[in-house]
């Protein structure tokens, strides 16, 4: 998995025996062995897991501190033959002070010790009574169990093979501070942060803590592994829940069930290459780097053979219906507000839009309607133009007409058949020709009709093409590729359907019936004649492949810079049982070829608002040469099994 950037990290909340390091060591060993069986590469315990966080003045007892060392020796000996890195919370005495530390172990060696920096001493916390801050350290090494070990808050642990696997550590309150150590760790190379914590429970704290971890993970563009003490800590005054969670760039990957008595292990595969790519894109990430005197410790992070990560088939579409509806509302609002702003600038012109009875033009029309409502404009000034051609079916034609009329907009019908035939004759194209020229003649004729009507009506042609079509170049250059404002230009095909469905669900009965039938209509440009029964014969996905795959490829290729090998691997895992390997490879090859060769179309797209994380506008997210050589990407696809 390392070749794809994945490393399996975990969190152990051990069932605690308070002030009994020997018992705790045995339980931690048991859980580390379980983690190793699960192929976890790096695992952490909570803060002061060897002794317990709530020992109070027992931390002044030499016996407890000595037993903690013995407990650490047990863990070292018992895990010396395991291929796993463990991070153990325990107290360390040094420089006439006691430090609350994270001790990093691997194969019988102590790799480094990270002491806590921010020591809480407010509300229910009295930690300064026992522990000193890392800022009080005089030494940079300590002898522990006959090993000379670096000790510092500025330690980073970096894999010898894949340098992007690099982890740093902060402890509990460090996270809650104004300038947490993780900010500095990540700017200096850490892609993974482990937090050994003892966070008690009061009403509302769990949600706040989750948000804090999520925000820190997003702010630092890192994977964040949080592990807190469980309910077997003392309950004299407070209760600990064992909250444990793993976030990646703000997104939750795993969390445990709190308030468990027995030990718990959670783990997930985090993608460090994805995080590293995000940092490259974010030009603000390395601004004002204040600390660069870190000590880098080389480690051997094992390469997991298993994969425990679920990716969405529809990365542009939220899985939850409630969240999906909220997202659709937000997107629809952004689209319509952007168009409304353009209409204000142009002194409220009419809007001209080609209506095909398909999904894209339906969504664009609905956006125009919403913009007009926002501006209190007469919907009669929306001119929906249906332009029957050689491939138009009765189903799409009737839906287009009914749809425009139902919204009380102005319907115009302009057949393009005669004009297309005349043009074919003019250029000497046989009337029985069914080449791309035959198709593009119709597409460009339709665009000319819309542009000319816009001139007549002093109007604005609204584009209907979507993000997926732009990515694949599935549009006619200077045909449906062109408009005066493109409202769907950053909406992928797989999301268009959900947006249209969202509007339909919130419409009256008649509109619902029309829109629902449009939703069930096969995706087609309708440029080739229908079959003998009058049904759509030309289906887009038969020609260029399933949009569910192309949108998946596009998302991982552009959003995270994933290589073809990695995209193929993720697709194999995600679409297991739905598409075989040869099918995935076939359409990935099509994606690579079309994405590179069709850039010239994207270099001159009309204005259109960015809605999601990906835009193909040369004025926005994508600045790419039209003549780039795509051989190295295609070669990698050809090599796939």
- Catalytic residue numbers read 47, 116, 172
DSSP symbol at 79: T
Residues in the chain: 641
Q: How far apart are CA 485 and CA 385, in angstroms?
A: 16
3-state secondary structure of 50: coil
List CB contacts of 120: < 8 A, sequence separation 6 or more.
127, 128, 172, 173, 176
| End-to-end CA gap in the chain | 16
- Rounded alpha-carbon distances, angstroms, from residue 128 to 116, 120, 261, 396, 632: 11, 7, 29, 74, 58
Residue 159 CA to chain centroid, in angstroms?
A: 25
Q: How far apart are CA 105 and CA 101, in angstroms?
A: 13
Q: How far apart are CA 479 and CA 544, in angstroms?
A: 19
- Rounded alpha-carbon distances, angstroms, from residue 406 to 63, 129, 377, 508, 513: 83, 74, 17, 10, 11
- For residue 413, how many other CB atoms are within 10 A of its CB? 14
Q: How far apart are CA 409 and CA 386, in angstroms?
A: 13
**Can you point out the beta strands (E) in 259-364?**
264-271, 295-299, 350-354
Percent helix, strand, coil in the chain (nearest 5)? Answer: 40, 20, 40
- For residue 319, how many other CB atoms are within 10 A of its CB? 9
Half-sphere exposure of 345 (CA within 13 A, CB side): 8
List CB contacts of 637: < 8 A, sequence separation 6 or more.
564, 568, 585, 588, 589, 592
- Rounded alpha-carbon distances, angstroms, from residue 319 to 315, 324, 495, 505, 575: 9, 7, 12, 17, 16
**Bridge-partner residues for 226, per DSSP?**
195, 245
Buried b (16+ CB within 10 A) or exposed e, 528-567: bebeeeeebbbebbeebbbbbbbbbbbbbbbbbebbbebb
User: Which sign does the torsion angle of CA 409, 413, 414, 416 carry?
Assistant: positive
Backbone angles phi, psi at 98, to 5 degrees: -115, 135
């Amino acid at each position: 998995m390392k070749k794809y950037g994945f490393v399996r990290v975990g969190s152990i909340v051990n069932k605690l025996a308070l002030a009994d390091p020997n018992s705790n060591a045995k339980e931690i060993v048991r859980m580390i062995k379980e983690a190793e069986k699960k192929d976890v590469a790096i695992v952490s315990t909570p803060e002061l897991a060897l002794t317990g966080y709530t020992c109070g003045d027992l931390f002044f007892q030499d016996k407890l501190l000595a037993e903690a060392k013995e407990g650490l020796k047990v863990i070292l000996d018992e895990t010396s033959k395991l291929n796993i890195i463990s991070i153990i919370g325990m107290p360390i005495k040094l420089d006439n002070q006691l430090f609350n530390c994270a001790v990093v172990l691997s194969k019988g060696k102590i790799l480094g010790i990270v002491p806590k920096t921010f020591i809480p001493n407010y509300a229910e916390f009295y930690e300064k009574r026992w522990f000193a801050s890392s800022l009080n350290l005089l030494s940079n090494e300590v002898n522990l169990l006959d090993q000379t070990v670096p000790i510092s808050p500025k330690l980073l642990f970096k894999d010898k093979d894949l340098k992007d696997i690099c982890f740093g550590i902060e402890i509990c309150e460090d996270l809650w501070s104004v300038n947490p150590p993780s900010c500095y760790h990540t700017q200096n190379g850490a892609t993974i942060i482990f937090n050994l914590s003892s966070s008690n429970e009061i009403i509302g704290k769990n949600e706040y803590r989750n948000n804090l971890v999520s925000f820190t993970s997003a702010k630092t563009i890192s994977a964040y592994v949080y592990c807190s003490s469980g309910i077997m800590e003392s309950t004299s005054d407070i209760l600990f829940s064992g909250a444990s969670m793993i976030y990646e760039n703000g997104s939750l990957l795993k969390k445990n069930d709190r308030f468990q008595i027995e030990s718990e292990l959670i783990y997930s595969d985090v993608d460090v290459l994805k995080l590293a790519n995000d940092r490259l894109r974010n030009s603000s990430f390395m601004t004002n780097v204040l600390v660069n005197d870190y000590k880098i410790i080389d480690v051997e992070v094992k390469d997991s053979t298993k994969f425990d990560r679920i990716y969405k088939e529809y990365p542009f579409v939220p899985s939850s219906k409630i969240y999906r509806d909220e997202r659709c509302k937000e997107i629809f609002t952004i689209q319509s507000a952007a168009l409304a702003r353009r209409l204000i600038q142009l002194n409220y012109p009419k809007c001209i839009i080609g209506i095909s009875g398909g999904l894209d033009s339906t969504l664009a029309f609905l956006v125009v309607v919403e913009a007009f409502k926002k501006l209190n404009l007469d919907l009669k000034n929306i001119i929906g133009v249906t332009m029957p051609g050689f491939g138009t079916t009765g189903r799409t034609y009737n839906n287009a007409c009914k749809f425009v009329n139902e919204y009380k907009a102005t319907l115009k019908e302009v057949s393009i058949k005669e004009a297309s035939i005349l043009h074919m004759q003019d250029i000497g194209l046989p009337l029985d020709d069914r080449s791309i020229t035959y198709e593009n003649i119709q597409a460009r004729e339709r665009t000319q009709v819309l542009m000319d009507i816009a001139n007549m009506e002093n109007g604005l042609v609204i584009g209907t093409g979507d993000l997926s079509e732009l990515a694949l170049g599935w549009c006619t250059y200077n045909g449906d590729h062109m408009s005066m404002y493109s409202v769907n230009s950053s909406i992928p095909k797989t999301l268009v359907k959900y947006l249209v469905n969202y509007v339909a669900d919130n419409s009256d009965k008649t509109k619902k019936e029309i829109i629902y039938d449009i939703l069930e209509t096969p995706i087609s440009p309708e440029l080739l004649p229908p079959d003998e029964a009058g049904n759509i014969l030309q289906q887009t996905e038969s020609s260029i492949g399933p949009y569910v795959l192309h949108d998946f490829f596009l998302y991982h290729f552009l959003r995270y810079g994933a290589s073809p090998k990695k995209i193929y691997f993720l697709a194999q895992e995600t679409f297991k049982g739905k598409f075989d390997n040869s099918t995935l490879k076939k359409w990935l090859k099509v994606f690579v070829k079309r994405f590179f060769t069709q850039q010239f179309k994207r270099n001159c797209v009309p204005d259109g608002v960015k809605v999601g994380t990906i835009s193909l506008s040369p004025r926005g997210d994508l600045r790419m040469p039209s003549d780039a050589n795509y051989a190295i990407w295609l070669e990698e696809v050809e090599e796939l099994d």
